[in-house]
Amino acid sequence: MNQPAISAIATDEAAQYLTVNLGNEEYGVDILAVREIRGWTAVTRIPQAPSYVLGVLNLRGAIVPVLDLRLRFGLTREEYTATTVCVIVMVAGRQFGIVVDAVSDVVEVAPGSVRPVPDMGTTVDTEYLKGLTSVGERMVLLLDVDRLLQPQDAQMLEAALASPEAKAVA
């Protein structure tokens, strides 16, 4: 029995991306997923969390897991500075924070300007990327925020939140 082909709905509208820096590379986060940009503050560590999960923070009553994007991508952790920020994003009804070196600006990306990510030339596993685009003279890697916090990690964090062993970390 033949199944009808499912086609994606194409749009001619440009998408907006918040550009953030991680080392010498620039990444784009879909602006529709961004809820808030906060300066770095200490978080409460969660026992037995993956190394890239720094802990959780209380965001107006909501407990939000915070990931260090450098560690998530297998890069070395850098000291947090005055430009280090935590971008709060919403994915599938769940908020989480991603710590980045700095925030740059918001750029518009036309759908036709997004190119596939080559398997080499970036320090990040391509499973976390939607594609790449040129913005002026800059190359921006477009993040797939849906893949940053895996479902099993979210479940583990929820289970660990009941633990009395949590402690603040800067």
pLDDT in tens, 64-98: 999 999 988 888 888 999 999 999 999 888 899 99
pTM of the entire predicted model:
0.80
> What pLDDT sits at residue 168?
46
Among 19-23, 35-39, 104-108, 157-161, the minimum mean pLDDT is found in 157-161
> What pLDDT sits at residue 48?
79
Q: Beta strands of 4-157 (E only): which ranges?
A: 15-22, 25-30, 34-39, 43-45, 53-59, 62-68, 85-91, 94-100, 102-109, 129-135, 138-143
- When the pLDDT of each residue in the chain is averaged and rounded to a whole number, the result is 81
> What pLDDT sits at residue 94?
86
166 to 49, 56, 57, 97: CA distances (angstroms)? 11, 10, 11, 18
According to CATH, the superfamily of the domain at 15-169 is CheA-289, Domain 4 (2.40.50.180)
pLDDT tens sequence across 42-51: 999 988 788 8
Give the pLDDT mean for 113-136.
78
Domain extent listing, the chain? 15-169
